[in-house]
Chains A and B, each alone.
Chain A
Amino acid sequence: MTETLAFSSEAMKKYEWLLTRYPTRQAALLPTLRIAESEFGELGVPQMRYVADLMEIPPALVFGVVTFYTHYRRAGVGTYHLQVCSTLSCALRGAGDVVQRITERLGIGTGETSECGLFTLSKVECLGSCDTAPVIQCNDDYHEGLSLEDVDALIQQLRDEAGKGSA
C-alpha cells in the first residue's frame, strides 16, 4: 500500500514551495498534511508514513500531530463529514435538535458513518460562527443559521450531488 502512494508533481511543487517558507523542515508538517489530505482523500497510517518518509521525520511524530488535532480527515470518514457545532452558543439555539434530526434522517449516531458510506456525523466544538447558530461544517463548507428543514434540504442536496439519489 505504502509504495503506491505518491504526491502528484503539482503537489510536490507545493510541498517544495512550503519548505522555502519555514526555517525548519518540521514546521512545514501541518500544511504538508493538508496536501496529503487532498491528494489521498484521507489520513490513515499509510498516508502518515508517506509524509514521514517524505519529510524525513519520525512516523510517531507525524501520528502524534495528526491525532492531536481534530480537523484532519482521518481514515474511514464518509464522503460528507457533517460536523455539528455543539458548543454553548449553538447549543442555546438548537444544535441538539440538529443532531437529532440528522440521526433520524440517516440512522446514524455521533461518530458513526452511514452504511452507504456517504455521511459521517460528528459533534464538534466551537466553529467560530456563533452569530449564525446552529452551524454545520460539511467538509470545508459552513452551513449557517440552520432550521430543521434546512438540515433536510442539505442532506438531500448532498445525496443529489453524490449522484446516489435517495440512497
Chain B
Amino acid sequence: MSFRKIFTQHIHEEKCHSLSFYQKNGGYEQARKSLHDWQPDDLIETVKAANLRGRGGAGFPTGVKWGFVPKNTDKPKYLAVNADESEPGTFKDRLIMEKNPHLLLEGIIISCKAVGIHHAYIYIRGEFVFAANRLQNAIDRAYSEGILGENCLGSDFTLDVTLHRGAGAYICGEETGMLSSLEGDRGQPKLKPPFPAVEGLFGCPTVVNNVETLANLPYILEIGAEAYGKIGPEKSPGPKLFCVSGHVEKPGVFELPMGISLRTLIDEHAGGVWKGRKLKAVIPGGSSAHVLRADECDVDMDIESLAAAGTMLGSAGVIVMDETTCMVDALLNIMRFYHHESCGQCTPCREGTGWLEKIAHRIAIGEGRMEDMDLVTEVCDRMVGKTICALADAAAFPAESIVNKFREDFVAAIENGGSPAWIKRHPASTGGAATHV
C-alpha cells in the first residue's frame, strides 16, 4: 500500500481548516460511524490491534491506556488532550490545530465514545494564540452544526469540548502537571500512582492523549487496524509527523511513515545540513533525548530503533547541529532551559538543573576544570529516577550524553579559556570575566 498523508495532505489549501472543506473530504464520517455503529469495547480493541502508540513522547499504547479506565464508576470521566507542545524542537501539533482542527475534534469524539467520556478539555499552551483561536472557531462551528454537544451527529451521545489555554510553563506538558494546571493551580506534577486513568482530573478517571495521537483515530477506523499496522515497523506503526529544525536547509514538519531513516529525513526531506557544512550532532526526539554524534545517525526513526541506539523518538523533534556548533554552548543552552522550567518541587531536579547550568556556564566562560566533566555525570546520576516527574531525567539525558560524546569540545573550552563564541566576544579575556550575560 502506498503511503497516504493524513495530517498534511491539504495544508497548502487556503480553506483547509474550515468545516465545509473537512466534510467535503470525508471528515466526521468515522466519528459518525463510531457513534452509531461501534461498541466502545470494539473501538478499544481496534486501537489496541492497530498498535497506535502515543505521539506525545512516551510512546505508550493508546488502546491499552484507554483500557485502564474503570468501566463501572459513578464518577464522571474526562479526556485531557495534551496540546501543550512544549518540548524544544517540536512544532507538529501546532500544525494540526492551525490547519486541520476538525481532524483533532473527530479524533476526540472517537476516543470519548470508546471510553465513555462526556467532557474533553484541550490544554493548549498559552503562546499559541493563533492556533487557540482557530481551534475555538472549529469547536464553535462543531457545536452549531450538531457535531458536538447533545446528540452528537444525530446519536444519543453527549460530548462537550472545552479549550483551556495554558500560560507558559514547560512542565504543563507533563501529564499530571497539565492536570494541576487544568484544575486552576500551579502546574506541579503529582506522584503516580494513582495514575490519571484511575484518579486524574478533579479526582476522576482521566485519559490523557496527545493531539497527533488522537488525529490518527479516524484513519485507523477508515482503513482498519490490520492495514494501519502495516505502515512502518510492526512495533510502532503509522504515519508520523517529524519536526526538523536547526542547521538544515529546509526546516519543517514532514509527514512520513514511522521508521524513516534519520539520514533520509535530514538529507532528502529537510534539504541536508545547511551551507554545505558537515553534520556534527543530532537530537532526534526533542531536547530531552540523548544526543547522537554524526557517526551514530544511521538509525531509523521509530521507537524501538532509537531506543536501541541509546536515545528516544520522544516527540520526534529533530534538532540538527553542524560542524561549527560548540557543544559546550549547546549544553549551556539546554541546561538553562531545564533550570528555568523545573517546577521546584523536588530537590534533585531543582538543584540538579541549577548545578548543570552553572557547570556548563563556567566551562563556557573559561572557568571550567577538567573534573567538571565527571561532575556533570555525577550530578546526573543523582537526578535520574529520583523525582516525581521526568523533568530531571529530561535534563540529565542530554547533559550526560553531550559531555561524554563530545569531550573534545569540553577539553578545548577548559584549556583555551572558554567556548569559541565566548573567546570571540572577549578576545582579551583570560577567563572569569564578570560581564557575561
| A133 interface residue per 8 A CB criterion | yes
Task: Report chain B residues within 8 Å CB of A124.
Answer: 168
In the complex, the chain A residue whose C-beta lies closest to that of B182 is: A27
Q: Which of B94, B181, B325, B337 contacts A87 (CB 8 A)?
A: B337
Number of residues from A at the complex interface, CB < 8 A: 43
Number of residues from B at the complex interface, CB < 8 A: 55
Which of B122-130, B190-198, B360-368 is the interface stretch?
B122-130
Within 8 A of A (CB), among B203-248: 243-247
| B183 interface residue per 8 A CB criterion | yes
Taking a contact as CB atoms under 8 Å apart, the answer to whether A93 and B202 are in contact is: no
B residues sitting closer than 8 Å to A (CB atoms) are 76, 85-91, 94, 125-130, 160, 162, 164-170, 181-187, 202, 243-247, 251-253, 283, 287, 317, 319, 321, 325, 329-330, 333-334, 337, 340-341, 343, 437
- Taken residue by residue from 117 to 139, chain A's Cβ proximity to chain B (1 for < 8 Å, 0 otherwise) reads as 00000001111111111000100
Q: Which of A23, A69, A129 contacts B126 (CB 8 A)?
A: A69
Taking a contact as CB atoms under 8 Å apart, the answer to whether B184 and A128 are in contact is: no
Q: Which of B128, B170, B186 contacts A65 (CB 8 A)?
A: B186
In the complex, the chain B residue whose C-beta lies closest to that of A95 is: B333
Taking a contact as CB atoms under 8 Å apart, the answer to whether A92 and B325 are in contact is: yes
Taking a contact as CB atoms under 8 Å apart, the answer to whether A128 and B91 are in contact is: yes
In the complex, the chain B residue whose C-beta lies closest to that of A71 is: B168
Taking a contact as CB atoms under 8 Å apart, the answer to whether B125 and A130 are in contact is: no
Taking a contact as CB atoms under 8 Å apart, the answer to whether B184 and A28 are in contact is: yes
CA distance A18 to B202 in the complex (A): 16
Q: List 23 A-B contacts (CB under 8 A).
A: A26-B184, A29-B184, A30-B166, A30-B167, A33-B167, A34-B165, A61-B185, A65-B184, A69-B169, A86-B333, A88-B319, A88-B333, A92-B245, A110-B437, A125-B341, A126-B86, A126-B337, A128-B85, A128-B91, A131-B243, A131-B252, A133-B251, A141-B130
Task: Report chain B residues within 8 Å CB of A125.
Answer: 88, 170, 337, 340-341
- Taken residue by residue from 1 to 39, chain A's Cβ proximity to chain B (1 for < 8 Å, 0 otherwise) reads as 000000000000000000001111011111101100000
In the complex, the chain B residue whose C-beta lies closest to that of A25 is: B184
Distance (whole angstroms) from the CB of B108 to the closest CB of chain A: 15
| A151 interface residue per 8 A CB criterion | no
Task: Report chain A residues within 8 Å CB of B125.
Answer: 128
In the complex, the chain B residue whose C-beta lies closest to that of A89 is: B245
CA distance A68 to B90 in the complex (A): 23
Given contacts A21-B162, A34-B167, 20 further A-B contacts (CB under 8 A): A22-B184, A23-B76, A27-B183, A27-B184, A30-B165, A34-B165, A65-B185, A69-B187, A71-B166, A86-B333, A88-B89, A88-B283, A88-B333, A88-B337, A91-B329, A125-B340, A126-B89, A128-B86, A128-B128, A131-B91
